[in-house]
């Protein structure tokens, strides 16, 4: 049995190299972003890099606009994607490797807009809300009765959403409790002008790492075991602590 396991472990790296393992995500600091040398860094990047090391796999991490990364993960062989919200609509579209982090979702508004009152998602439909193209929030809002280009506006870039909010062209942004300040500060706007007005209920907030359906099962198993090992040996928690998460 030991010989068989060793043979399998020895086979996974060569398989990944031969079939070109791809890993994609989006630029969302501090989870994943670029350093001054245009190399991916961040808490989730480090976790994935350690997962690769423990699984004896080699792959580059590429950051694209979310819609592109999502389509690659849907359609490209041997492709891993993070950090991905999980719900029923996506359940059968990926091989789910494991949970990376948990976020709470909100509608953010400008503090100067004291006239905006949101206590339910139904009330939010009276306002123009922006979200990211291809994000689970887009599907969620459409399912709640929002209409595209009427009270729902989408963009492929977070920068555009916040600029639309600050310019008054939309009245709220669908965001989460951790990343909004980083997104606003990264484009030179004052995050003190924004408030989280409404916590969105019944919305998936667990971030996962997942694989395309055509990704080799041996790779998926190796990465799943690597993440479980990290959570057991403390290396996962150490990375989160390093990034103050």
Q: Establish whether domains 22-101+206-242 and 105-199 are of one fold.
A: yes
Q: Which two tokens stand for residue 92?
A: 């059968």
The per-residue pLDDT for 29 is: 84
Domain ranges, ordered by start, for the chain: 22-101+206-242, 105-199
**Burial class for 66, CB neighbours closer than 10 Å (0-12, 13-18, 19+):** buried
Class (C level, CATH) for 22-101+206-242: alpha beta
Residue 95 has a pLDDT of 98
Q: What is the rounded distance in angstroms from the CA atom of residue 12 to the CA atom of residue 86?
A: 27
Cα separation, 222 vs 227, in Å, equals 9
User: What predicted TM-score, i.e. pTM, was given to this entire model?
Assistant: 0.75
Contacts of 90 (CB under 8 A, 6+ apart): 84, 136
Q: Are 159 and 179 in contact (CB under 8 A)?
A: no
| pLDDT tens track for 193-206 | 999 999 998 886 78
Q: List, for residues 108-145, the tens digit of each pLDDT value.
A: 999 999 999 999 999 999 999 999 998 889 999 999 99
Pick out the chain residues at pLDDT < 70: 1-19, 204
CA separation for the pair 35, 39 (Å, rounded): 5
> Is domain 105-199 in CATH 3.40.190.10, yes or no?
yes
Strands 105-110 and 194-199 come out as antiparallel
């Amino acid at each position: 049995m030991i010989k068989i396991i060793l043979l399998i472990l020895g086979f996974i790296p060569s398989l990944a190299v031969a079939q070109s393992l791809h890993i994609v995500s989006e630029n969302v600091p501090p989870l994943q972003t670029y350093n001054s040398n245009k190399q991916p860094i961040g808490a989730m990047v480090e976790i994935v890099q350690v997962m690769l090391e423990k699984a004896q796999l080699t792959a580059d991490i590429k950051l694209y606009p979310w819609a592109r990364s999502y389509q690659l993960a849907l359609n490209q062989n041997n492709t891993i994607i993070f950090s991905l919200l999980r719900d029923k609509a996506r359940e059968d579209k990926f091989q789910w490797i494991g949970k990376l982090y948990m976020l709470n979702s909100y509608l953010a508004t400008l503090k100067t807009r004291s006239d905006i009152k949101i206590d339910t998602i139904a009330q939010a439909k009276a306002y123009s809300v922006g979200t990211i193209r291809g994000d689970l929030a887009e599907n969620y809002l459409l399912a709640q009765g929002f209409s595209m280009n009427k009270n729902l506006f989408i963009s492929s870039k977070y920068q555009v959403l916040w600029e639309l909010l600050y310019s008054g062209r939309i009245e709220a942004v669908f965001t989460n409790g951790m990343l909004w300040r980083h997104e606003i500060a990264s484009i030179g706007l004052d995050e003190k002008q924004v408030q989280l007005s409404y916590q969105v209920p019944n919305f998936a907030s667990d971030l996962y790492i997942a694989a395309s359906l055509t990704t080799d099962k041996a790779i998926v198993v190796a990465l799943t075991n690597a993440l479980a090992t990290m959570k057991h040996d403390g290396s996962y928690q150490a990375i989160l602590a390093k990034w103050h998460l």
